[in-house]
Amino acid sequence: MNRRRRRKRIGVGRIVLIAALIIAVVVVAKVAHGASVNRANDASPNSGPADVSEELQAETGAGVVGIRPGAQTAAGPEDGREDGQVFLRPAPQETQEETGSEWPDEPGLAVGPAETEPPAPAIDPSQPMVALTFDDGPSATLTPRLLDILRDNGVHATFFVVGYNLDGNEAILQRAVAEGHEIGNHTMNHPHLRSLGSAELDQEIGAMRQRIVDITGQQVVPIRPPYGETNDTVDAHITDPVILWSVDSRDWADRDVGMACDHIYNDTFDGCIILMHDIHPETVDAAAIFIPWLKEQGYQLVTVSELGQYRSGGLNAGEHYFSIAAPETEAAETAPAETAA
Protein backbone atom coordinates (compact mmCIF):
# COMPACT_ATOMS: atom_id res chain seq x y z
CA MET A 1 0.00 0.00 0.00
CA ASN A 2 2.75 2.44 0.99
CA ARG A 3 4.66 1.44 -2.11
CA ARG A 4 1.72 2.37 -4.31
CA ARG A 5 1.44 5.79 -2.65
CA ARG A 6 5.11 6.51 -3.22
CA ARG A 7 4.79 5.57 -6.90
CA LYS A 8 1.77 7.87 -7.25
CA ARG A 9 3.65 10.81 -5.66
CA ILE A 10 6.61 10.19 -7.96
CA GLY A 11 4.31 10.21 -11.06
CA VAL A 12 2.68 13.50 -10.04
CA GLY A 13 6.09 15.10 -9.44
CA ARG A 14 7.27 14.06 -12.86
CA ILE A 15 4.20 15.60 -14.47
CA VAL A 16 4.74 18.86 -12.59
CA LEU A 17 8.41 18.90 -13.58
CA ILE A 18 7.61 18.28 -17.25
CA ALA A 19 4.99 21.06 -17.23
CA ALA A 20 7.47 23.48 -15.62
CA LEU A 21 10.06 22.65 -18.27
CA ILE A 22 7.52 23.25 -21.06
CA ILE A 23 6.55 26.63 -19.58
CA ALA A 24 10.19 27.62 -19.26
CA VAL A 25 10.88 26.71 -22.89
CA VAL A 26 7.90 28.81 -24.06
CA VAL A 27 9.00 31.82 -21.99
CA VAL A 28 12.56 31.61 -23.28
CA ALA A 29 11.32 31.37 -26.87
CA LYS A 30 9.15 34.49 -26.46
CA VAL A 31 11.99 36.46 -24.92
CA ALA A 32 14.35 35.46 -27.72
CA HIS A 33 11.76 36.40 -30.38
CA GLY A 34 11.20 39.83 -28.80
CA ALA A 35 14.90 40.52 -28.72
CA SER A 36 15.27 39.67 -32.41
CA VAL A 37 12.34 41.98 -33.31
CA ASN A 38 13.90 44.84 -31.36
CA ARG A 39 17.23 44.33 -33.08
CA ALA A 40 15.49 44.38 -36.48
CA ASN A 41 13.62 47.56 -35.65
CA ASP A 42 16.81 49.22 -34.46
CA ALA A 43 18.51 48.32 -37.72
CA SER A 44 15.61 49.52 -39.95
CA PRO A 45 13.07 51.79 -38.20
CA ASN A 46 10.83 51.90 -41.27
CA SER A 47 10.82 48.20 -42.01
CA GLY A 48 7.10 47.83 -41.27
CA PRO A 49 5.78 50.40 -43.74
CA ALA A 50 8.46 49.43 -46.26
CA ASP A 51 7.03 45.90 -46.29
CA VAL A 52 3.63 47.42 -46.99
CA SER A 53 5.09 49.52 -49.82
CA GLU A 54 6.66 46.41 -51.39
CA GLU A 55 3.29 44.67 -51.36
CA LEU A 56 1.60 47.70 -52.92
CA GLN A 57 4.28 47.99 -55.55
CA ALA A 58 3.90 44.31 -56.42
CA GLU A 59 0.12 44.69 -56.74
CA THR A 60 0.00 48.01 -58.64
CA GLY A 61 3.25 48.10 -60.59
CA ALA A 62 3.78 51.68 -59.43
CA GLY A 63 7.01 53.14 -58.22
CA VAL A 64 7.25 53.86 -54.51
CA VAL A 65 8.02 57.50 -53.80
CA GLY A 66 8.95 56.66 -50.24
CA ILE A 67 8.24 57.16 -46.59
CA ARG A 68 9.55 60.23 -44.83
CA PRO A 69 12.83 59.31 -43.05
CA GLY A 70 12.71 59.10 -39.28
CA ALA A 71 8.94 58.71 -39.03
CA GLN A 72 6.48 55.84 -39.19
CA THR A 73 3.84 57.98 -40.95
CA ALA A 74 4.24 59.73 -44.26
CA ALA A 75 2.15 62.71 -43.17
CA GLY A 76 0.07 63.87 -40.28
CA PRO A 77 -3.72 63.98 -40.13
CA GLU A 78 -3.74 67.74 -40.77
CA ASP A 79 -3.40 67.20 -44.52
CA GLY A 80 -5.97 64.44 -44.82
CA ARG A 81 -3.68 61.38 -45.05
CA GLU A 82 -3.80 58.47 -42.64
CA ASP A 83 -0.84 57.35 -40.54
CA GLY A 84 1.43 54.93 -42.34
CA GLN A 85 0.20 55.84 -45.83
CA VAL A 86 2.68 55.06 -48.59
CA PHE A 87 2.87 57.44 -51.53
CA LEU A 88 2.85 55.91 -54.99
CA ARG A 89 3.64 57.45 -58.32
CA PRO A 90 2.75 55.65 -61.57
CA ALA A 91 5.83 54.55 -63.49
CA PRO A 92 7.91 56.14 -64.87
CA GLN A 93 8.87 57.96 -61.69
CA GLU A 94 9.20 61.74 -61.74
CA THR A 95 12.36 63.34 -60.50
CA GLN A 96 12.64 65.96 -57.81
CA GLU A 97 13.42 68.55 -60.49
CA GLU A 98 10.12 67.77 -62.24
CA THR A 99 7.96 68.03 -59.12
CA GLY A 100 9.91 70.75 -57.31
CA SER A 101 9.75 68.79 -54.05
CA GLU A 102 11.10 65.51 -52.74
CA TRP A 103 7.95 64.75 -50.78
CA PRO A 104 4.33 65.25 -51.92
CA ASP A 105 3.34 67.39 -48.96
CA GLU A 106 0.49 69.30 -50.61
CA PRO A 107 -3.00 68.07 -49.67
CA GLY A 108 -4.63 66.16 -52.47
CA LEU A 109 -1.35 65.48 -54.30
CA ALA A 110 -0.41 62.23 -52.57
CA VAL A 111 -0.67 60.29 -55.84
CA GLY A 112 0.35 61.38 -59.35
CA PRO A 113 2.01 64.50 -60.79
CA ALA A 114 1.04 68.04 -59.79
CA GLU A 115 -1.58 69.79 -61.87
CA THR A 116 -0.49 72.65 -64.14
CA GLU A 117 -2.46 75.44 -65.82
CA PRO A 118 -3.27 74.81 -69.49
CA PRO A 119 -1.20 76.89 -71.92
CA ALA A 120 -2.75 80.05 -73.36
CA PRO A 121 -4.40 79.47 -76.74
CA ALA A 122 -2.26 80.42 -79.74
CA ILE A 123 -3.26 83.37 -81.91
CA ASP A 124 -4.46 82.41 -85.38
CA PRO A 125 -3.60 85.25 -87.81
CA SER A 126 -6.22 84.02 -90.26
CA GLN A 127 -9.04 84.55 -87.77
CA PRO A 128 -10.66 87.87 -86.71
CA MET A 129 -8.94 89.80 -83.94
CA VAL A 130 -9.40 93.12 -82.17
CA ALA A 131 -7.35 95.15 -79.71
CA LEU A 132 -8.98 96.24 -76.45
CA THR A 133 -7.41 99.38 -75.00
CA PHE A 134 -8.05 101.05 -71.65
CA ASP A 135 -6.99 104.62 -70.85
CA ASP A 136 -6.33 106.83 -67.81
CA GLY A 137 -5.47 104.16 -65.24
CA PRO A 138 -4.30 102.40 -63.34
CA SER A 139 -7.06 102.45 -60.75
CA ALA A 140 -6.14 100.83 -57.46
CA THR A 141 -9.51 99.08 -57.26
CA LEU A 142 -10.93 98.86 -60.77
CA THR A 143 -7.86 97.82 -62.78
CA PRO A 144 -7.25 94.67 -60.69
CA ARG A 145 -10.90 93.71 -61.19
CA LEU A 146 -10.50 94.20 -64.91
CA LEU A 147 -7.31 92.12 -64.92
CA ASP A 148 -9.24 89.32 -63.24
CA ILE A 149 -11.88 89.45 -65.99
CA LEU A 150 -9.24 89.41 -68.73
CA ARG A 151 -7.41 86.52 -67.06
CA ASP A 152 -10.58 84.48 -66.58
CA ASN A 153 -11.42 84.91 -70.27
CA GLY A 154 -7.88 84.19 -71.46
CA VAL A 155 -7.51 87.47 -73.41
CA HIS A 156 -5.03 90.35 -73.55
CA ALA A 157 -5.37 94.14 -73.65
CA THR A 158 -3.29 97.33 -73.72
CA PHE A 159 -3.41 99.85 -70.88
CA PHE A 160 -2.51 103.47 -71.66
CA VAL A 161 -1.61 104.83 -68.24
CA VAL A 162 -1.12 108.36 -66.90
CA GLY A 163 1.68 109.46 -64.62
CA TYR A 164 -0.47 110.88 -61.83
CA ASN A 165 -2.00 107.42 -61.24
CA LEU A 166 1.27 105.48 -61.05
CA ASP A 167 2.51 106.13 -57.52
CA GLY A 168 1.52 103.22 -55.32
CA ASN A 169 0.11 101.27 -58.27
CA GLU A 170 3.35 100.05 -59.80
CA ALA A 171 2.55 96.45 -58.84
CA ILE A 172 -0.63 96.61 -60.92
CA LEU A 173 1.42 97.40 -64.03
CA GLN A 174 3.85 94.62 -63.22
CA ARG A 175 1.00 92.16 -62.80
CA ALA A 176 -0.51 93.26 -66.11
CA VAL A 177 2.75 92.67 -67.97
CA ALA A 178 3.27 89.32 -66.23
CA GLU A 179 -0.16 88.21 -67.42
CA GLY A 180 0.55 89.08 -71.05
CA HIS A 181 -0.87 92.58 -71.30
CA GLU A 182 0.84 95.69 -72.63
CA ILE A 183 1.43 99.10 -71.02
CA GLY A 184 1.20 102.23 -73.13
CA ASN A 185 2.09 105.90 -72.58
CA HIS A 186 -0.82 108.32 -72.03
CA THR A 187 1.48 111.13 -70.76
CA MET A 188 2.23 112.37 -67.28
CA ASN A 189 -0.73 114.71 -66.78
CA HIS A 190 -3.15 114.13 -69.69
CA PRO A 191 -2.68 117.60 -71.26
CA HIS A 192 -3.60 118.94 -74.69
CA LEU A 193 -0.21 118.24 -76.26
CA ARG A 194 -0.64 120.65 -79.17
CA SER A 195 -0.61 123.54 -76.70
CA LEU A 196 2.76 122.63 -75.14
CA GLY A 197 6.29 123.74 -75.91
CA SER A 198 9.25 121.50 -76.56
CA ALA A 199 10.44 121.19 -72.94
CA GLU A 200 6.93 120.40 -71.71
CA LEU A 201 6.47 117.78 -74.42
CA ASP A 202 9.71 116.10 -73.35
CA GLN A 203 8.41 115.91 -69.80
CA GLU A 204 4.95 114.68 -70.70
CA ILE A 205 6.08 112.13 -73.28
CA GLY A 206 9.73 111.25 -72.70
CA ALA A 207 9.75 111.24 -68.89
CA MET A 208 6.54 109.22 -68.80
CA ARG A 209 7.94 106.71 -71.25
CA GLN A 210 11.03 106.19 -69.09
CA ARG A 211 8.87 105.72 -66.01
CA ILE A 212 6.99 102.88 -67.72
CA VAL A 213 10.25 101.27 -68.87
CA ASP A 214 11.61 101.41 -65.32
CA ILE A 215 8.49 99.78 -63.86
CA THR A 216 7.74 97.15 -66.50
CA GLY A 217 10.93 96.56 -68.43
CA GLN A 218 9.13 97.11 -71.76
CA GLN A 219 11.40 98.49 -74.46
CA VAL A 220 8.64 99.53 -76.85
CA VAL A 221 5.97 101.71 -75.23
CA PRO A 222 3.19 102.62 -77.65
CA ILE A 223 1.72 106.06 -77.00
CA ARG A 224 -1.82 107.39 -77.19
CA PRO A 225 -1.92 111.21 -77.18
CA PRO A 226 -4.66 112.49 -74.86
CA TYR A 227 -7.85 113.33 -76.78
CA GLY A 228 -6.16 111.90 -79.87
CA GLU A 229 -4.47 115.29 -80.42
CA THR A 230 -1.21 115.39 -82.31
CA ASN A 231 0.65 117.43 -84.93
CA ASP A 232 4.12 117.59 -86.43
CA THR A 233 5.57 119.23 -83.34
CA VAL A 234 4.11 116.56 -81.05
CA ASP A 235 5.16 113.76 -83.39
CA ALA A 236 8.76 115.02 -83.34
CA HIS A 237 8.92 114.09 -79.64
CA ILE A 238 7.48 110.59 -80.11
CA THR A 239 9.76 107.57 -80.62
CA ASP A 240 7.12 104.82 -80.47
CA PRO A 241 4.03 103.77 -82.44
CA VAL A 242 1.06 106.14 -82.04
CA ILE A 243 -2.13 104.24 -81.21
CA LEU A 244 -5.47 105.93 -81.83
CA TRP A 245 -8.79 104.06 -82.19
CA SER A 246 -11.54 103.05 -84.58
CA VAL A 247 -14.29 102.03 -82.12
CA ASP A 248 -15.26 104.40 -79.31
CA SER A 249 -17.32 102.79 -76.54
CA ARG A 250 -18.15 106.28 -75.25
CA ASP A 251 -17.89 104.95 -71.72
CA TRP A 252 -16.27 108.27 -70.82
CA ALA A 253 -19.47 110.15 -71.78
CA ASP A 254 -22.35 107.75 -71.12
CA ARG A 255 -21.12 105.97 -67.97
CA ASP A 256 -23.66 103.25 -68.75
CA VAL A 257 -22.99 99.51 -68.97
CA GLY A 258 -25.62 98.76 -71.59
CA MET A 259 -24.69 101.67 -73.85
CA ALA A 260 -20.99 100.78 -73.76
CA CYS A 261 -21.83 97.21 -74.71
CA ASP A 262 -24.13 98.37 -77.53
CA HIS A 263 -21.39 100.52 -79.09
CA ILE A 264 -19.07 97.52 -79.11
CA TYR A 265 -21.74 95.11 -80.38
CA ASN A 266 -22.63 97.43 -83.26
CA ASP A 267 -19.25 98.86 -84.26
CA THR A 268 -16.62 96.14 -83.78
CA PHE A 269 -14.90 94.79 -86.90
CA ASP A 270 -11.86 92.68 -87.66
CA GLY A 271 -8.66 94.60 -86.90
CA CYS A 272 -10.31 97.43 -84.98
CA ILE A 273 -8.88 99.16 -81.91
CA ILE A 274 -11.49 99.67 -79.18
CA LEU A 275 -11.28 102.65 -76.81
CA MET A 276 -12.34 102.29 -73.17
CA HIS A 277 -11.30 103.63 -69.75
CA ASP A 278 -10.53 101.48 -66.70
CA ILE A 279 -11.30 104.29 -64.25
CA HIS A 280 -15.09 103.88 -64.49
CA PRO A 281 -16.87 101.03 -62.66
CA GLU A 282 -19.41 100.83 -65.49
CA THR A 283 -16.58 100.04 -67.91
CA VAL A 284 -15.35 97.13 -65.83
CA ASP A 285 -18.91 95.81 -65.43
CA ALA A 286 -19.41 96.09 -69.18
CA ALA A 287 -16.15 94.24 -69.86
CA ALA A 288 -17.47 91.21 -68.01
CA ILE A 289 -20.36 91.16 -70.52
CA PHE A 290 -18.90 92.13 -73.90
CA ILE A 291 -15.63 90.18 -73.66
CA PRO A 292 -17.36 86.76 -73.62
CA TRP A 293 -19.67 88.03 -76.40
CA LEU A 294 -16.73 89.05 -78.58
CA LYS A 295 -15.19 85.62 -78.09
CA GLU A 296 -18.47 83.96 -79.04
CA GLN A 297 -18.43 85.96 -82.29
CA GLY A 298 -15.01 84.48 -83.08
CA TYR A 299 -12.84 87.48 -82.22
CA GLN A 300 -9.41 87.02 -80.68
CA LEU A 301 -8.68 89.78 -78.16
CA VAL A 302 -5.04 90.89 -78.31
CA THR A 303 -2.72 93.77 -77.44
CA VAL A 304 -2.10 96.46 -80.03
CA SER A 305 1.45 95.16 -80.55
CA GLU A 306 0.13 91.63 -81.08
CA LEU A 307 -2.42 92.97 -83.56
CA GLY A 308 0.37 94.78 -85.41
CA GLN A 309 2.65 91.77 -85.33
CA TYR A 310 0.12 89.28 -86.67
CA ARG A 311 -1.43 91.63 -89.23
CA SER A 312 1.43 93.73 -90.56
CA GLY A 313 4.64 92.23 -89.21
CA GLY A 314 4.96 94.77 -86.40
CA LEU A 315 4.26 98.40 -85.51
CA ASN A 316 6.45 101.22 -86.80
CA ALA A 317 7.74 104.01 -84.58
CA GLY A 318 5.97 107.30 -85.23
CA GLU A 319 3.28 105.76 -87.42
CA HIS A 320 -0.37 106.43 -86.49
CA TYR A 321 -2.69 103.42 -86.16
CA PHE A 322 -6.50 103.57 -86.03
CA SER A 323 -7.04 99.92 -86.95
CA ILE A 324 -4.94 97.15 -88.45
CA ALA A 325 -6.94 95.03 -90.85
CA ALA A 326 -5.77 91.92 -92.64
CA PRO A 327 -3.83 92.95 -95.79
CA GLU A 328 -6.49 91.72 -98.21
CA THR A 329 -9.29 93.63 -96.41
CA GLU A 330 -7.42 96.72 -95.31
CA ALA A 331 -9.46 99.85 -95.95
CA ALA A 332 -8.61 103.53 -95.83
CA GLU A 333 -8.29 104.76 -92.27
CA THR A 334 -9.91 107.93 -91.04
CA ALA A 335 -8.99 109.89 -87.94
CA PRO A 336 -11.42 109.53 -85.03
CA ALA A 337 -13.35 112.45 -83.62
CA GLU A 338 -11.64 113.95 -80.61
CA THR A 339 -12.95 112.54 -77.33
CA ALA A 340 -12.00 112.49 -73.68
CA ALA A 341 -9.50 109.66 -74.27
What residues act catalytically?
Answer: 135, 277
- Angstrom distance (rounded) from CA 304 to CA 182: 8
Cα–Cα distance, 161 to 278 (Å, whole number): 10
- Distance CA(235)–CA(318), nearest Å, equals 7
Burial class (CB in 10 A: 0-12, 13-18, 19+), 262: middle
User: What is the DSSP-derived secondary structure letter of residue 175?
Assistant: H
Q: Where are the alpha helices (DSSP H) in the chain?
A: 2-43, 47-60, 96-99, 142-153, 170-178, 198-201, 208-216, 232-235, 251-254, 257-267, 281-296, 304-312
Ranges of beta strands (E only) in 72-208 are: 87-89, 129-137, 158-161, 182-185
Q: Which neighbouring-strand residues pair with 247?
A: 274
Phi-psi label, residue 159: left if phi above 0, alpha if psi -120 to 50, beta otherwise: beta
Which residues share a beta bridge with 161? 137, 185
Cβ neighbourhood burial of 129 (10 Å; 0-12, 13-18, 19+):
buried
Which phi and psi (to 5°) does residue 141 adopt? -110, -40
CA pair distance 310, 84, nearest whole angstrom? 56
Rounded CA-CA distance 277/251 in Å is 7
Q: 255: alpha, beta or left, given left = phi > 0 and alpha = psi -120 to 50?
A: left
